Amino acid sequence: MKRLILNLGTIALLVTAFWQAGFKSAQQRNNTPLSYTGEIMDGTYAGQGSHNQEVPREDAKASRDCGTSHAKDGSKLVLYNSEAKTFINLDDQDKARDYAGKKVAVVGTYDGPTKTIHIQTINAAP
């Protein structure tokens, strides 16, 4: 019985660790571009996981308006993954700004030390 509990605990720990890692990875070998999915969001609210609390307060009609207005104020846009509840910085803010508040697929290389995706392309996700 103790062995069963120990095994289940180990499995639960491993599943949690992989789930927490989400779409983050170490520096890619040979800088092969990978695809990352999530929502382009203002970095200020990425920790909250949503603009829903701020949109009514700021008279914005949608999260896109909120993200765009904050980006104009100098806030950085990030790629937020709601499943993993994590975000990654984006190097090209001009490309990201066009997709603020939208679910996207970003293709690029990930720089582990700076937690930044070096964007090659961004496309709207289905």
Provide the CATH number for the domain around residue 82: 2.40.50
End-to-end CA distance of the chain, in Å? 46
The secondary element (H helix, E strand) that includes residue 90 is strand 86-90
Burial class (CB in 10 A: 0-12, 13-18, 19+), 110: buried
* Residue 13 domain flag: no
* Residue 70 domain flag: yes
What six digits make up the tokens of 52? 């829903």
pLDDT score for 26? 45
87 with 60: CB under 8 angstroms? no
Say what the pTM is: 0.62
Q: Rounded to an integer, what is the distance from CA 116 to the centroid of its chain?
A: 10
What six digits make up the tokens of 86? 């994590």
* pLDDT tens by residue, the chain, 126 residues: 888 888 887 887 777 766 555 544 444 567 789 999 999 998 887 776 554 554 444 554 554 555 555 555 668 999 999 898 899 999 999 999 999 989 999 999 999 899 999 999 999 987
Greatest alpha-carbon span in the chain: 59
Q: How far apart are CA 30 and CA 49, in angstroms?
A: 32
* Residue 35 domain flag: yes
Number of domains in the chain: 1
* Residue 84 domain flag: yes
pLDDT score for 7? 81
pLDDT score for 55? 47
* Residue 20 domain flag: no
Domain that holds residue 100: 25-124
pLDDT score for 48? 65
